[in-house]
Chain A
Amino acid sequence: METSSHDILIIGGGGAGLRAAIEIAEQDPTIDVAMVSKVYPMRSHTVSAEGGAAGVAGKDDSLDEHCYDTVSGSDWLGDQDAIEYFVNEVPKELLRLEHWGCPWSREPDGRIAVRPFGGMKRMRTWFAADKTGFHLLHTLFQTSLKYRAIARYDETFVTRLLVEDGAVRGVVAIELRTGKIRVIQAKAVIIATGGCGRVFPFSTNANICTGDGMALAYRAGAPLKDMEMVQYHPTGLPFTGILITEAARAEGGWLLNKDGYRFLQDYDLGKPTPAPVFRSMELGPRDRVSQAIIGEFEKGRGFHGPYGDYVHLDLRHLGEHKIETRLPMVRELCLKYENLDPVKEPIRIRPVQHYMMGGVHTDINAATPLPGLFAAGEAACVSINGANRLGSNSLGEILVFGARAGRAAIEAARNGSPASETAVLAQGRDEERRLEENYLRKTGGTERIAKLREEMQQTMERGCGIYREHNSLVESAHKLDELRGRAAHLAIDDHTRTFNTQLTAALELGFMLDVADSIVHSALNREESRGAHQRRDFTKRDDQKYLAHSVAYKTAEGPPRIEYLPVVITRWPPGERVYGR
């Protein structure tokens, strides 16, 4: 076991983690900050974001309008103080990215260009063609290289948070290259590990999105908030689940059923017009559009394919020039993965799990209830996204709250009281023993990791997909209990120390099972339909009982304890979500 110590430790090297690291290095160069990431930072899943980042830019737009779009998009489950803070900060953050070299797309006069996006009433989405996340991540990573003060533990996998005297004191991690167990102590820890899309079978998320940070915090005693709020993106490629950006619809793409009919008009999303109209039809919010597609499937108006039903996303009328300049990656992905050219053919798409509105419960300062622990990005739930995130609000969120978490962690690192090092190291040795006994030296197990993972994914899709109900959720909860039991008997083929990806897959499976459990039980307890959470047995929104965040605490045995926390309402009292009228 090797030990090291820093003032602040960031877990996760994606957009939020890098933004936090840069903020800390800029605010106070004397602070010793380190970042631990299970992949090299530029491999993080931020890289896959496509469409853009929303921030008020033009004269015809206002902060209040962005706030209202976000609040109504969230189905009033977003905290309005956090949303106001976010909307106010995000243009400054996007501008900072510009100064750091992000290749934002431009107007002919050299100003930043903006595009429309789903659920937004104005053009305010900054974009770098349709590789916004890629450019944002690489700009942040390259800028972070300027700061020698940022220490990095690349390809190092965190297995546990160390909690002593009621505060987080660091982590235990495996250095993949050598297999060495490291205890990394810190006065403040920021979780920026992204989402957990891989608990679902069909997701846009990368292989690394296994909810590690959520599970680490949850096991350490920090609660998970609004975990039932799972976003399905309307347009994923049927076999791979690869994302076709919402920008495809923002630029004017149409959703068509098997009769070539723009079916969204049947789902209270407005009347079809040739050019896109804000907050209408294909520019509706993701929850409503995804639900409409499922509606078409149920009416038998989708196409049948080898990977389930699908509908068409038609871009042909946009013409080759627009597709090539504004949506080059959409074309590239369709050609490579579907063998079709969107210039000539409509794209086959179906809704696909995309994003977790829920995550580690934090306040507006990115602080969790556990002293010394902060969280930002998709791993966290502040909440600005409520029951449904608007497209292009997440890239802004990782910047705003990444930086916020950085500043909050500086405070905590300055004011934190020291813990007993002996106690912390003893915990580290416990964890080392657990890893050795349960995985590295374990023989005779019979359960294959992939099999358990697949069964978990299937039960999540069946019981906890776009539509849920009591019985399906209870069934999923039972299945997860069974899987957790079986996960104690994993078959491990790889007993080497060096780069043991079977060990990490096993640990990730454990993380995912815990996170899945919190999703199912949060969904089971919320007996209403709101945003992305649609119950067949409770089809109406119930503001009397559920204008509140569900907060899930892990218990020693049995299901999580679910509590409710009122939503912060400042200026926008709950109302009807109106799109297209």
Chain B
Amino acid sequence: MPQYTQYQPKAYRPRMSAYWYLDQWRYLRYALREASSFFVAYFCVLTLVQLAALGTSATRYAQFEACMGSPVMIIINAIALAFFLLHAITWFNLVPRVAMRQMLGRPTPDAISSGPNYLLWFGATVILALFFLGVL
């Protein structure tokens, strides 16, 4: 049967594959960024578990720490940290760009809009570092 009837050309409709995010690096980057939310959730749960252990008994906390020290957990947490950083950087850049412009009503250079975020981040890191090193 002929597919074409005169004057009724059938357009070709491309379909996206189910694995479209693997097709191109720019899409993969996006998929990884989205996946980073999973690791953020993981850290939240981990913190809750840590707090629960801390509240239960010293032995439980020692067990928790031992578990964290295992090579498997270190690898998992290193990966999770990488994703966590990706997540943080994405939103540190994005949110102020939109919000600053909304407040000021005009475009602002990226350095001005997202700069303060990084300053705050850096500041918080320094304070925490000093705290753990026993300076504070």
Contacts and interface: CB of A to CB of B under 8 A. Distances in A.
Chain A directly contacts chain B within the complex, with at least one CB pair under 8 Å: yes
B7 interface: yes
A177 interface: yes
Contacts of B6: 497
Interface string A162-206: 000000000000000111100000000000000000000000000
A498 interface: yes
A495 B8 CA distance: 16
B9 to A, nearest CB: 4
Contacts of B7: 178-180, 497
Contacts of B8: 178
A436 to B, nearest CB: 12
A497 B10 CA distance: 12
Contacts of A178: 7-9
Nearest to A179: B7
A178 B4 CA distance: 11
A395 B51 CA distance: 71
Interface in B1-41: 6-9
Contacts of A177: 9
A268 B3 CA distance: 70
A180 B6 CA distance: 9
B109 to A, nearest CB: 15
Nearest to B9: A498
A140 to B, nearest CB: 27
A503 to B, nearest CB: 14
Contacts of A497: 6-7, 9
* Most B-side CB within 10 Å, residue of A177, A178, A180, A498: A498
Interface in A128-168: none
A180 to B, nearest CB: 5
Nearest to A496: B9
A498 B6 CA distance: 9
Contacts of B9: 177-179, 497-498
Contacts of A180: 7
A156 to B, nearest CB: 13
B10 to A, nearest CB: 10
A318 to B, nearest CB: 24
Contacts of A498: 9
B107 to A, nearest CB: 14
A498 B4 CA distance: 11
A179 B6 CA distance: 9
A177 B8 CA distance: 9
A212 B7 CA distance: 24
B3 to A, nearest CB: 13
A178 B8 CA distance: 6
B67 to A, nearest CB: 58
Nearest to A180: B7
Nearest to A499: B9
A498 B7 CA distance: 7
Nearest to B6: A497
Nearest to B10: A498
A179 B9 CA distance: 9
Nearest to A2: B7
A21 B115 CA distance: 50
A128 to B, nearest CB: 18
Contacts of A179: 7, 9
Interface in A263-294: none
* Most A-side CB within 10 Å, residue of B6, B7, B8: B7
Nearest to A178: B7
A131 B7 CA distance: 39
A178 B5 CA distance: 10
A178 B9 CA distance: 6
Interface string B81-115: 00000000000000000000000000000000000
A179 B8 CA distance: 9
A498 B9 CA distance: 7
A177 B10 CA distance: 10
A449 to B, nearest CB: 23
A497 B8 CA distance: 10
Interface in A398-425: none
Interface in A488-529: 497-498
A8 to B, nearest CB: 27
11 contacts: A177-B9, A178-B7, A178-B8, A178-B9, A179-B7, A179-B9, A180-B7, A497-B6, A497-B7, A497-B9, A498-B9
Given A178-B7, A497-B6, A498-B9, 8 more contacts: A177-B9, A178-B8, A178-B9, A179-B7, A179-B9, A180-B7, A497-B7, A497-B9
Interface of A: 177-180, 497-498
Nearest 8 Cβ contacts at the A-B interface: A498-B9, A178-B7, A180-B7, A178-B9, A179-B7, A497-B7, A497-B6, A178-B8
